[in-house]
């Protein structure tokens, strides 16, 4: 009975984790922790260390991919490394600033912060406005692509976790 309840909680944690990802919240890590908790609860009989290592590696790769995509998209639009760092810092700051606004605040804050961070740091004395706006647009596209990758990885983690737990 307890194992069935733990399995249901695992599924709920996976669904909640997937729902958190678009909001810039650590949904992947919630999923990883839920799987580790489930494994510990059932004595690591069904979910072994190989499955746990696989989901941790997937989550780490997804985090790196999100950061890389943000840089890559910003670079594709011809921005400087300063603008790419501005997009990263602005996205983090925007996420924090948007946190008090329920549900959608983090998402809006992250996208707006990435845009503004890239635009502000891309701006120079001889920089064309189109270049700075392009930097912001590239940062927004990179953030969206990163979220999409993290959702795909989250689905993979959920599938691995469910099959390991069965």
Under DSSP, the state recorded for 11 is: H
User: Phi/psi of residue 2, each to 5°?
Assistant: -65, -35
Of the pLDDT bands very low, low, confident and very high (cuts 50, 70, 90), residue 39 is very high
Separation CA 71–CA 81 (nearest Å): 8
Q: Per-residue pLDDT tens for 101-157?
A: 876 787 888 889 889 988 888 877 777 888 788 888 888 888 889 889 999 999 999
Specify the number of domains making up the chain. 1
- Asked if the model's pLDDT at residue 60 lies above 70, the reply is yes
Query: What pLDDT sits at residue 103?
Result: 67
Q: What is the pTM of this model?
A: 0.79
CA quadruple 39, 44, 45, 48: dihedral sign: positive
Domain that residue 51 falls in: 2-165
- Count of helix runs (H) and strand runs (E) in the chain: 6, 0
Highest mean pLDDT among 53-57, 83-87, 116-120, 142-146: 53-57
CA distance 16 to 107: 16
């Amino acid at each position: 009975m307890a194992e069935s309840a733990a399995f249901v909680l695992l599924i709920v944690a996976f669904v909640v984790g997937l729902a958190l990802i678009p909001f810039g919240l650590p949904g992947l890590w919630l999923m990883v922790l839920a799987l580790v908790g489930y494994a510990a609860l059932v004595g690591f009989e069904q979910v072994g260390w190989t499955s746990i290592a696989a989901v941790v590696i997937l989550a780490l790769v997804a985090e790196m991919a999100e950061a890389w995509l943000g840089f890559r998209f910003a670079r594709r639009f011809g921005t400087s490394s300063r603008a790419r760092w501005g997009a990263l810092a602005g996205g983090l700051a925007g996420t924090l600033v948007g946190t008090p606004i329920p549900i959608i605040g983090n998402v809006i804050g992250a996208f707006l912060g990435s845009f503004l961070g890239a635009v502000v740091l891309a701006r120079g004395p001889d920089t064309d406005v189109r270049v700075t706006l392009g930097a912001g647009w590239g940062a927004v596209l990179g953030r969206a692509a990163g979220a999409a990758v993290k959702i795909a990885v989250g689905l993979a983690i959920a599938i691995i976790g469910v099959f390991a737990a069965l």
